[in-house]
Structure 1
Amino acid sequence: MSCRSVAFALALVSSLAACSSNRSKEPAPPLGETFGAEDTYSRSYAVPPVTACEATRRALLGQGYVIGKMAPETLEAGKSFQPESDVHTQLKVLATCVPRSDGGSIVFINAVQDRYALTSQSNSASVGVSMIGSLSLPVPGGSNANLVRVGSNTVQNQDFYRRLFDRVTFYLPGTPADAPPPPEPAGPPDPVTPKQ
């Protein structure tokens, strides 16, 4: 076998090895999203979708949420928090209730947490001065404070959703009136970084 044949054979083997190694290394899912089988964002109930959505509405109202939009099988609610003097957080909860073939329903809930920072911008008045031109002078008491969104993420805290679905269950028909309510969530949930 000539040197040229050996070199060609080695090049062919190395290229085939490179191809097989590239196939075995699948690219990582974006932001760790795996579409796993966990039921973090949904629960099944043995009631029609309209009844499940009404229980969801009551659960959110009972925790101080303001209902923004509502249809028979969907709703959107929001709540505001201010953990620090210059930080504002809004939690928006979206719920969709879909029918099951057995007459029950599946309630899908996801929460989006938006964070805002308070930025101050002082107003100034432009004054024309001969020999100098125009000067910008601050107007007393004329500062504007604006909220600027600095971050947004889907809440992935499983305990937050578990407690919310427990509240929905509490408001379903047939729950004994003297049943103790489940523990209430304390404050906004901390965002959970997706697994890498």
Structure 2
Amino acid sequence: MPTTSFSIRFIFTVALVAGLSACATANPPELRQEQFLSSGSYVQSYPGAPERSCEAARRALLSQGYVINEATASQVRGRKYFQPHTDTHTQIEFHVVCAANSEGSNSTTVFANAVRDRYSLRKSSNSASLGVGAIGSISLPFGSSDDALIKVGTETIPTKQFYTQFFELIERYLDPLSLPVDPS
């Protein structure tokens, strides 16, 4: 009987150690999807200087209702707000970086990513208590209710079509920038 008990404990211990080591080395599901490939959804190259591409990106974001928080020769940051339902709120913050491909080349790589923050309206009620020395505390029936937006999620938007449409819009705004200005 002691050998059976020992065997069961040994098998249980080995299974437990194997299970824990598998948990320690396995990537979380979100990291299993993360791949560093040479071509991705978040990058596009354009002819011309970085300033030109970032200006086109700024115009593209403005044309879609984004509020520009920062715009320099090498980066643009804009934000847009949505309220799909009365008790939810969403924000998208768009980040664009424009980098020259190499010294002497007349091309720019534009890197873009958009982060979506989701908020939900939560109600919390407050009631008043009154402490009376001999009796103790008395809870009074009047109170108030506060509403607060609570962040419930943040994610980088992964949809390739979302970025493809943005890069196509940049290209549309690049064309007018390349036309010579009529001096008359």
How many angstroms apart in 2 are the aligned matches of 1:122 and 1:110?
39
- The share of aligned pairs that are identical, in percent, is 37
- The match for 1:49 is 50
Contact 1:127 1:137 in 2 (8 A): no
How many angstroms apart in 2 are the aligned matches of 1:176 and 1:98?
18
- The match for 2:94 is 93
- The match for 1:122 is 125
Mind listing any 5+ residue stretches in structure 2 that lack a counterpart? Answer: 1-24, 180-184
- The match for 1:71 is 72
Name the SS for the 1:40 alignment partner. Answer: coil
- The match for 2:135 is 131
Contact 2:81 2:92 in 1 (8 A): yes
- Closer/same/farther in 2, CA of residues 55 and 123 from structure 1, 3 Å limit: same
Tell me the TM-score normalised to structure 2 length. 0.72
Contact 2:78 2:93 in 1 (8 A): yes
Partner deviation per Cα, 1:63-103 (whole Å, 9 max, x = no partner): 00011122221111111112222121111110000012212
How many residues of Structure 1 are paired with residues of Structure 2 in the alignment? 150
Contact 2:127 2:139 in 1 (8 A): no
Which of structure 1's runs of 4+ aligned residues deviate more than 6 A?
none
- Please identify, of 58-67 and 117-126, the stretch whose mean Cα deviation from structure 2 is larger: 117-126
Tell me the TM-score normalised to structure 1 length. 0.68
Q: Which residue type is aligned with residue 115 of structure 2?
A: V
Name the SS for the 2:174 alignment partner. Answer: coil
How many angstroms apart in 2 are the aligned matches of 1:138 and 1:36?
60
How many angstroms apart in 2 are the aligned matches of 1:176 and 1:96?
20
RMSD across aligned positions (CA): 2.4
How many angstroms apart in 2 are the aligned matches of 1:136 and 1:93?
48
Contact 1:91 1:113 in 2 (8 A): yes
- The match for 2:165 is 163
Higher share in helix: 2
Partner deviation per Cα, 1:158-186 (whole Å, 9 max, x = no partner): 11001111111111144799xxxxxxxxx
- The match for 1:6 is none
- Closer/same/farther in 2, CA of residues 143 and 174 from structure 1, 3 Å limit: same
